Structure 1
Amino acid sequence: MAAERVEGEAGERMNTDAPARNGTERAPAATGAEAPGPGADAGPDQQVAAAVAAAEAAGPQQGETVRVDSWIWSVRLIKTRSAGAAACKGGHVRVNGERVKPAHSVRVGDEVRLVHEGRERIVVVKRLIRKRVGAPVAVQCYVDNSPPPPPREAVAPAGIRDRGAGRPTKRDRRDMERLRGFGGEPGTGGRTPRP
């Protein structure tokens, strides 16, 4: 009894007659000529829905969990998984109010607090995924309860010169030092006056 083998999308051979790991029957792999891909003639909403479906298919099965460092990387709260693990080890990640290790399991409904780059992110897990996805899909995997980011300064910081303005003169340097709080009183030539 020879089992039929078919190549999957990743180029690996898989047995289509053998049951899958979770006990369900595996369907034969589809060939590329049968149906167009998810982005063939679809609008942006349909593409996002297809990407969400693909992310859920690659995610854990019923009852399984995902590591917290992997999840915060997958939903793009942090740039790399190793940075997520380092944040957990440093005590910057809390799940339901408790500091957690990188291997802590996350479940749907958990509140994840992450302090990263001087900003606190508070999210509630809505979907579990293991693979990194695009930003439109990532925002559908959590509910963001974070405080708004601080506003950017409307004016340029003191001491920044326009590009191409050339080297500052002695007077310009004194003015910049005075704005930064390093220089003395104006008119003293940069020296601090004697008492």
Structure 2
Amino acid sequence: MFVYKIDEELSLRMFNEKDATEFFQLTIQSKEYLKEWLGWLDYTNEEEDSLAFIKATLKGVIETGGYPKTTAIIYKGNIAGIIGFNEINRLHKIGVMGYWLGQQFQGKGIMMRACKAYIAYGFNELDLNRIEIRVAEENKKSRAIPEKLGFQEEGKIRQAEWLYDHYVDHVIYGLLAEEWKQNN
């Protein structure tokens, strides 16, 4: 099983079906908090929904030739959130990264460390040339991550996502493998 140890308290690992209960509980506990920026939460209402998501992530391993597209963020032994490539274009070697963290795990530097590790994984293991992060324009916490990690703000997609009762614009950030390697 894929496990990427970041430090003594943080690692990334491939989901397995046994994670469904814990992952569902994390999602439900953070649901109202996460709804500000994630539009899919109304479709997660029972543990089976989380299990279906996990099964889909396991199929993603086949698409990448044995590498997970999505991993659980494990903080001190508990699932704290998720990080992964929502899309991978193998022809052009582009990955579009997404992430979220449970409310109780905010403010500990977890996501910054997880993103840095996942970017290295994308460039070094998946042989990507470009990684994109798309973030709702007003989501300042999430925008701070690519900005601190050396991504370039490249533009905005107007009304890119429907969030329950309104559209939000997305800012697109991009980072090239050569830029990452120069700075790391």
Q: TM-score range by the shorter chain?
A: under 0.3
Question: Higher relative contact order at CA 8 Å, sep ≥6: structure 1 or structure 2?
Answer: 2
Q: Larger C-alpha radius of gyration, 1 or 2?
A: 1
TM-score by length of 2: 0.26
